[in-house]
Structure 1
Amino acid sequence: MEATVYILRCADGSYYTGLTRQDVEARVWEHNNLPDEKSFTARRRPVSLVFTETYDRLLDAIAREKQIKGWSRRKKEALIAQDYEGLPALSRRSKVEDLRD
């Protein structure tokens, strides 16, 4: 069963990373329109879709969503810009190693 990991840019400039098995455009519509005032995106509308990755296995998508949620804003922005070569330099581990040098 396919699952899509997605990143939304919120009206306040923050990012929301999520996972869906439904059509991603339908999920974005829900983020913008459903009356769940307790949700992260409900207080930051409108949101826009800025990144997607689709996986054949749900477990792979869950792992990727968790990974991205742990990333810094700069690293998420590099992913959104498809700067895959720049991602390793933005890892926290690389920054710690740079401080040691």
Structure 2
Amino acid sequence: MIYELRIYTIFPGKIDAIRKRFSDHTLGIFDRLGMEVCDFWEDLEEQPKLYYTMRYESMEERKRQWEAFSQDQEWNEVKQKSEQGGKIVERVEQVFMKRADYFSAGYPTILD
């Protein structure tokens, strides 16, 4: 199993726009395409950032899912419409992780 932490830095004044895009569209598109979001967070100190993790069987699956997402007609229409007043996301950081074998022995996790 592979996990990806995605960190979105949002342009000033655009946090509500990204919240709306995720809640009204993006998460549903992910679901339709079989993309698994494990959890989703907003910055506690109210920085214009979102954090979420996704789970994949392999890097090949991840690549296939993101290619399908980037070519999805609904996503492209939503993105274009939501960015009519300017881009929302300034930067996306990605961290790829695997579960540490020594941790999973008996400890509950949010991913179980």
Same fold flag (TM > 0.5) = no
- Higher share in helix: 1
- Higher share in strand: 2
TM-score, structure 2 length as denominator? 0.29
TM-score, structure 1 length as denominator? 0.32
